[in-house]
Every structure is written in structure tokens, then in C-alpha cells.
Amino acid sequence: MEHRILIVEDDADLGNLVRRYLEVKGFGVTLITDGRTAMQELAIGSYAIAVLDVMLPGADGFVLASQIRQAYPSLPFLFLTARRQQADVLKGLSLGADDYMLKPFDVDELVLRIANILRRSGDREKPSQHYVLGDYHFHPQELSLELNGQRRLLTEKESALLEMLCREPGRLLRRTFVLESLWGSADFFNGRSLDVFIGRLRKLLAGDPRLELEVVRGAGFILHTGA
């Protein structure tokens, strides 16, 4: 089945270059140049993933990401942008982005990152797995974390990371293993991204004091469930 990708990029030359390359790789691609039109397209089309620039005319890519997250919480998206300040990276990830990729970029790496996100998304079609973490109920295939009847939708990467921790409760999950499995490499930039996601999971699990997501500096992470 052909995966459809929505690219939101106001540089027509770059956008068309990426569009043509992704089409050669077997994807269906729609190129949009502004956020307002992108939301209109999402309302009528079915997409597997969105690729967003930050510097867009009118409302920027961060505003667009917030709108996507609210209207289509299960749609994965990544940023492809020249905005490389740490504050920008952290803001993009905090909005729920599954990845944040800097320009200039290697188009083959972009294809690989898209494929990795779509693979994790496809895992949701497998038989449903259910984890009980103290008072929480976690359904990774549904990207769902529930506490006292309140349901929170996770991003693809939040769900994948939490599931890795759930598989080995009370045991050290190696940092390099997480980075290579979910980000593709254990470089510094990906490491900072991982730290952001760990911080987000700690906040999500703060509703049950028996749970602790321990960071073992330089080594990895341990999920303590109090069981």
C-alpha cells in the first residue's frame, strides 16, 4: 500500500526536489507551501505522515504542528528546517514531533527517518498489547495512556520509548540501544532529543508516585513500577 506524505515547505525548488525523490521511492506526496492550506488538505485527504518546515508564510510551522496535534493526534510528523537553535529543537519536540531534522540534509537520510516513523506506526496494526503500570493502563498500539479513566494520546515515539521501558521494568535500558533503535544513531543531537522525550515521559507518569523513571547518567534508564 502506498504511503501518502504531506510536505509543507515554502521553498518551491526544494519542495519539488524532495517530492520527486520520495515519489521515486514509492511514496505518494502532496506539496503545500503554507500552514492554512495544509490544514485544509488534511481535512480532505488521508496521510500517513507530515513533513513540516518551521519558517512558513503566515503562521509558522510550530503553530501548524500545534493545530495538527490537536486535530489529528495520531498523525505522526517531523520537522525539516534550518532553525537549529536549541530552543527551536526543544520547542519542536515538545509539540509532539517524532523527529527534528536540520537543513541542509541528505535526502536518503530523510527517507530512512520517514520509513522508521512509518514502521513504528504500522506496529499499531499488530495484536493489541496492554501494560499495567501502577494506576496507569498503557496501550501502545492505540498510543494511549490512561489514568483514572482519563485518556492521554501519545506520539509515535513517546509510545515506542515507553514500550521499550515497559518490556524491562526494573532493569537498565541502555541509552545507546534506545538511540540506535528509535533514532538510528547515538550522536549528540539525537541524544538531546532522547533527553527531551524522557522528560516528557516522566511528566506523563507523575500521576502515580509509585512509578519512577530513573536516569542513570551515561548508561541508560530504569523504569521502577513499585511492584
pLDDT of residue 122: 65
For residues 96 and 65, the answer to whether their CB atoms sit within 8 Å is: yes
What pLDDT, in 10s, does the model give residues 169-198?
Answer: 898 999 998 898 888 788 888 899 999 999
- Reported as a single tens digit per residue, the pLDDT across 5-33 is 999 999 999 999 999 999 988 899 999 99
Long-range contacts, stretch 197-200, CB < 8 angstroms, 24+ apart: 197/93, 197/157, 197/158, 197/161, 198/161, 200/94, 200/158
d(CA 216, CA 28): 42
pTM for the whole thing? 0.62
Report the b/e string of 9-28 with b at 16+ CB within 10 A.
Answer: bbeeebbeebbeebeeeebe
Give every CB contact of residue 26 below 8 A, 6+ residues apart in sequence.
2
Quick one: average pLDDT of 205-220?
92
pLDDT (tens digit per residue) in 44-73: 888 999 999 999 998 899 999 999 988 888
SS (H, E, C) 120-134: HHHHHHCCCCCEEEC
CA-nearest of 67, 82, 116, 75 to 9 is 82
* Per-residue pLDDT at 163 exceeds 80: yes
Cα separations in angstroms, 57 against 11, 60, 129: 11, 7, 42
Q: How many CB atoms lie within 10 A of CB 119?
A: 11
> What is the C-alpha separation between 11 and 117, in angstroms, rounded?
24
What domains can you pick out in the chain, each with its CATH number?
4-123 (3.40.50.2300), 126-224 (1.10.10.10)
Q: Is residue 104 reached through a cis peptide bond, with omega within 30 degrees of 0 on the bond before it?
A: yes
Residues 138-161, mean pLDDT to the nearest whole number: 88
pLDDT in tens, 114-130: 988 888 776 555 545 78
**Cα-Cα-Cα-Cα dihedral of 63, 66, 70, 72, to 10°?**
90
Please give the single-letter amino acid code of residue 204.
Answer: L
CA dihedral 148, 138, 167, 197 (to 10 degrees): -100
pLDDT at 153: 87
Nearest-Å Rg of the Cα atoms of the chain is 18
